[in-house]
């Protein structure tokens, strides 16, 4: 057998024994404690001992979704950051890039995810969807079509949906900030 131990450079190197904390767990701790969120975004941990499952509430202070509070669930698996966090909208909302099941069309949550991105990037990306909805990448086709064809009607629909209104037979959740 090769003598590996003698390759250890010095005592200091030998002392570098790492804890049993998983890489995913350390990374999530680092991501969360270094979040730099504006006042329009807030995290909530149903179980503060569980850092892997939490919600994010976005309350845009400008744009067409101003006045609403939008809730997203985050679920992080043990293969983070190789795998992106799983993010879903917890409410039924009227938005071109969010479907009625809560799926979100945000490139960094799927095809463009890289381990160098972090939870902060995902959260900022989500908030951006409310400031600049993107009709070119629709998940809610009706909403996207309305947005590009008839912007006034779209704005009205957004307002109505946020109050818990019904648009074309779909009942939306009331998301107004009380």
Partner 1 sequence: MASQPNGTSTDWPGRYYHIDQVLNTPGPRTDPAFLAGDGVKTFLRNQAKILVIGAGGLGCEILANLALTGFKDIHVIDMDTIDISNLNRQFLFRQKDVGQPKATVAAEFIMKRVPGVKVTPYFGKIQDKDDDYYLQFNLIICGLDSVEARRWMNATLVNLVDPENPESLKPMIDGGTEGFKGQARVILPTITSCYECSLDMLNKPTAFPICTIANTPRLPEHCIEWASVLEWPRVHGDKKMDTDDPDHIGWLYKIAAARAAEFKIEGVTWSLTQGVVKNIIPAIASTNAIIAAACCNEAFKIATSSAAYLNNYFMLIGTDGIYSYTFEHEKRDDCPVCGGEALEMTISSEMTIEQLIETLVEKQDIQIKKPSLSTPTKQIYLQAPPQLEKATRPNLEKKVSELVPPGGEVTVTATTLPFSLSLRISYST
Residues near 107 by beta carbon (within 8 Å), at least 6 away in sequence: none
Helix (H/G/I), strand (E/B), else coil: 127: helix
Q: Name which of 27 and 159 has its Cβ closer to partner 1.
A: 27
Binding span for partner 1 by CB under 8 A among 47-55, 148-156, 157-165, 166-174: 47-55
Q: Determine the angle formed by the axes of helices 151-162 and 141-149, rounding to 10 degrees.
A: 140
Q: Is residue 85 within the footprint of partner 1 (CB under 8 A)? A: no
Written as six digits, the tokens of 155 are 């704005």
142, 150 in Cβ contact below 8 A? no
Query: Which range, of 57-65, 101-109, 125-133, 158-166, touches partner 1 by CB under 8 A?
Result: 101-109
Kindly state the smallest distance separating residue 24's Cβ from partner 1, in Å: 8
The residue among 173, 151, 149 whose CA lies nearest residue 160 is 173
- Is there a contact between 164 and 178 (Cβ–Cβ < 8 Å)? no
Report if residue 105 touches partner 1, rule: CB under 8 A: yes
CB of 37 to partner 1, least distance (A): 7
| Minimal distance, residue 32 CB to partner 1, in Å | 6
Nearer to partner 1 by C-beta: 32 or 160? 32
User: Does residue 39 bind partner 1 (CB under 8 A)?
Assistant: no
């Amino acid at each position: 057998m090769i003598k590996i131990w003698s390759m250890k450079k010095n005592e200091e190197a030998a002392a570098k024994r790492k804890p049993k904390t998983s890489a995913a767990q350390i990374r999530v701790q680092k991501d969360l404690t270094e979040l730099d969120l504006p006042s329009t975004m807030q995290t909530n941990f149903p179980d503060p001992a569980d850092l892997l499952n939490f919600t994010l509430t976005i309350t845009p202070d400008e744009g067409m979704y101003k006045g609403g509070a939008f809730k997203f669930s985050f679920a992080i698996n043990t293969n983070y950051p190789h795998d992106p966090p799983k993010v879903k909208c917890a409410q039924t909302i009227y938005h071109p890039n969010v479907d009625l099941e809560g799926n979100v069309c945000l490139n960094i949550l799927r095809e463009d995810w890289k381990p160098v991105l972090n939870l902060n990037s995902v959260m900022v990306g989500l908030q951006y969807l409310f400031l600049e909805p993107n009709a070119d990448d629709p998940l809610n086709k009706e909403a996207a079509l309305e947005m590009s064809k008839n912007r006034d009607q779209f704005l009205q629909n957004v307002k109505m949906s946020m109050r818990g209104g019904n648009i074309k037979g779909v009942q939306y959740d009331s998301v107004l900030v009380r």
